[in-house]
Structure 1
């Protein structure tokens, strides 16, 4: 039996798990650059685009991502199978990030609406590519041992920590939001090149090639077969509980993070974290560090069981009202709902537990999904990934409501 020497294949899946969410995390952690610099009026006033920047980005990110991810299950986009889809998607991401950097360099202060339109179009195209990239990567990982799917989830969460630390570093080093954002986007561009190179190297790896040969139903052969050959309804029924868990975990999280989470402010003006860094540390850094630790825990601990995981994912719904009761002050709205949870440490503890359970339960759901079917594990993995993205999309839509709820 060929072994994964030096865990090279596992490392490649972690690296590409990082690369998948690089565009999304760069756009949300650069919130200040967009909402406080690029999308304000020429007089420095807030616009509707700056007030709801994260919600607009979330909506434009997930609509094409969800659509392409579901299509990727049923439709073969071109020849060559999943490997070619991934490499093509990475090149699309690279080209779009070059365009994003050029837009950052240009002065758009008198063309706010045009900049907003170009930014949202870029986000739509980015996430169309991400939808194909992510679904294809999960499809390949589903035919390997379960820990390779866990490696993708781990990479997703490492990405969040990596991007947040870069944002803190660049905000500290550079005096302007524009320059900090440019260096953030350049970092993403560099990392996407690395993802491309590692995936090319994967084709030469003996362990990966042997697994492709030993599969009972080769992925490429399945993709080139007719739709009728794949029992989609049976796969869906067998994997339903786990794909529902994936949906619910991401729905709860994206209802809160980042739209609500990033607008929660300290009630104590002398709190240890300065106001300008409060959201970066208590929202982005806390979420990404503990989501990563949660997904890492799933490598060694597999509890709850596939049958009882749904209880834990349903209980996470209580996080939504709890975060709204914190000192959440959305831009452009006057909060009327009383602040019940005003202690910063209680709020941070809530953020830690929400983030940890997100990483842990999402990793379990994604690992359990391919194991819940007797064949076509790749399709079960792709179904779970599509429901994950659907959960993100529905959660983002729900986040549009919360500024109005607390202002009632």
Structure 2
């Protein structure tokens, strides 16, 4: 009899791991004001290079973060998908990320006013290093979740987006209680260290859970049983046409088990490529807009203090409503997998919408057509909801469209394409300041 997930422990851990999968990224981008307005805003250094670093900080940070992330996710796909190997990579990369954030926290105490450009490159290097570990971690988490029932993959995806909500809430709290930007940064980055260490302990704990170990070994046992069935069927084969058809199916199943190397990955890719393309389009649109475009949209109607406008209406609204969109994927009617690409392409309309908001108001030639903050906020909510809803469906469909024993590979491919779409979007965001000055 299959064990149950008592008290939803495994689900909760997968949810926590989903939060950790984007926690490093969210903690860094939410610190945009600390880096741009404090560490890099040096009165005795107004070089054009430093101005460029400040203006495009989030785009540079995104590229430095996602380039190694996607590279090492790609490499990780070809390593062992055995759950013990995946688990080992998960806990070791969590520990490594915590150590890097200890260094980032320490740098908050350093007086970098005499070397802001060096500080910028140190920050980029640390972002590069921490996202090597994060890329491996993220890919392994989706690989583990794909071995579990499908709702566990969505638990990871919901945590994936909720990490931004948590980071934004801690940012707002830090801004409210800290007397200086330096103290705020120390509080903020310390949260990252504590949370990553908590997930490290969770991973060591979950490996002894009966429900978890049952599903981690289930597919391998099914594979062995299929081989036994093939041998027995061969021994008892008769002329019955129905038995012959059944035999062909079993032999075909056994043949697919022998796939290895590039044939295995091509076999999985062929079955899920439309979903992978959908994921790329969704994340390209989303991350060409968030965070670099939205973080540079300035308020017009004084709804709240300017100090909190970007933290609330960019860094908080996006992950909050993206998480709601993830949840809706489990409750609303699910469109057919083949139609998801159509819905994802419709979201391209969000790009001109946000460009005509109050984006870089003091450095643009194009007119601001969206002259009301309420309209901007409604657009931000809709963009986030559709991103969460469609991405959850595409990611859940991937392991469902392949044989159970290949679900882990399909899950890791989905994770890889998420990062590929994000990287494309972040690189394209560098074009937006040029477009508004045409």
With normalisation by structure 1, the TM-score equals 0.94
Q: Distance in 2 between matches of 1:138 and 1:148?
A: 9
Displacement after TM superposition at 1:314 (Å): 0.9
C-alpha distance in 1, partners of 2:24/2:96?
12
In structure 2, distance between residues paired with 1:57 and 1:365? 27
Would you say the 8 A contact 1:212–1:218 is kept in 2? Answer: no
Runs of 4+ aligned residues of structure 1 deviating over 6 Å after TM superposition are none
Which of 317, 325, 344 is equivalent to 1:313? 344
Match of 2:308 in 1: 277
Aligned counterpart, 2:272 = 239
1-structure distance, mates of 2:397, 2:387: 15
Shift of 1:175: 2.3
Structure 2 residue matching 1:301: 3-state secondary structure:
coil
Matching residue within 401, 405, 408 for 2:435: 405
Deviations 1:121-156 (A, max 9, x none): 100011111110000110111111111110011111
Shift of 1:229: 8.2
- C-alpha distance after superposition, 1:12-47 (max 9, x if no partner): 000011111111111111101000111123527463
Q: Distance in 2 between matches of 1:400 and 1:134?
A: 26
The Cα offsets for residues 305-351 of structure 1, whole Å up to 9 and x where unpaired, read as: 21211111111111111110111117xx6111011111111110000
Alignment partner, residue 381 of structure 1: 411
Among 351, 367, 373, the residue aligned to 2:380: 351
Structure having the higher Rg: 2
2:52 is matched with 48
User: Which residue in 1 is equivalent to 2:318?
Assistant: 287
Instruction: Tell me the distance in 1 between the aligned counterparts of 2:388 and 2:217.
Output: 32
Q: Between Structure 1 and Structure 2, how many residues are aligned? A: 399
1:262 to 286, 295, 302: 295
1:34 to 1:122, Cα distance in 2 relative to 1, 3 A = same
Normalised to the residue count of structure 2, the TM-score between the two structures is: 0.87
Bigger fraction of residues in helix: 2
Confirm or deny: 8 A CA contact 2:81 2:143 kept in the other structure. no
> CA offset at residue 218 of structure 1?
9.1
Q: Please state if 1:14 is matched with 2:47.
A: no
Give the whole-Å Cα distance in 2 for the aligned partners of 1:99 and 1:218.
46
CA deviations 1:231-257 (Å, max 9, x no partner) are: 111111101011111111110000000
Asked whether the 8 Å contact 2:89–2:140 carries over to 1, the reply is yes
Counterparts of 1:44 and 1:157, CA distance in 2: 37
Which blocks of at least 5 consecutive residues in structure 1 are unaligned?
Answer: 220-224
Return the match for 1:297 from 328, 350, 356.
328
> 1:302 touches 1:364 (CA, 8 Å); kept in 2?
no
Deviations 1:92-147, CA, capped at 9 Å, x for gaps: 10110111011111111101122111111100011111110000110111111111
Superposed displacement of residue 292, structure 1 = 1.1
Partner-residue secondary structure (3-state), 1:379: helix
Q: Match for residue 188 of structure 1?
A: 192
**Cα 1:5–1:302 shift into 2, 3 Å:** farther
CA-to-aligned-CA distance 1:340-363 (integer Å, 9 cap, x gap): 111111110000000011111111
Counterpart check, 1:69 vs 2:69:
no
Separation (CA, whole Å) in 1 of partners of 2:131 and 2:207 = 25
Cα 1:296/1:315, change in 2 over 3 Å: same
Match of 1:172 among 169, 176, 186: 176
Q: CA deviation at 1:165?
A: 0.8
What is the CA deviation profile of residues 145-176 of structure 1, one whole-angstrom value per residue up to 9, with x for unaligned ones?
Answer: 11111001111122111110110111011121
Give SS of 1:142's match: helix
Query: Where does structure 2 lack aligned partners over 5 or more consecutive residues?
Result: 224-257
Among 152, 155, 159, the alignment partner of 1:155 is 159
CA distance in 2, matches of 1:26, 1:292: 17
Q: Does the 8 Å CA contact 1:266/1:275 hold for their aligned counterparts?
A: yes
Shift of the 50–4 alpha-carbon distance from structure 1 to 2, 3 Å rule, reads same
Distance 1:212 1:78 in 2: 8
Q: Comparing 305-314 with 199-208, which one deviates more in the overlay? A: 305-314
* Counterparts of residues 121-160 of structure 1 (less than 5 Å): 121-160=125-164
2:33 matched to 1:2?
no
CA distance in 1, matches of 2:218, 2:210: 12
Contact 1:74/1:227, CA 8 A, preserved across alignment: no
Number of the residue aligned with 2:283: 250
Question: Structure 1's 344 and 287: CA in aligned 2 closer, same or farther, altered over 3 A?
Answer: same
After superposition, the CA RMSD in angstroms is 2.0
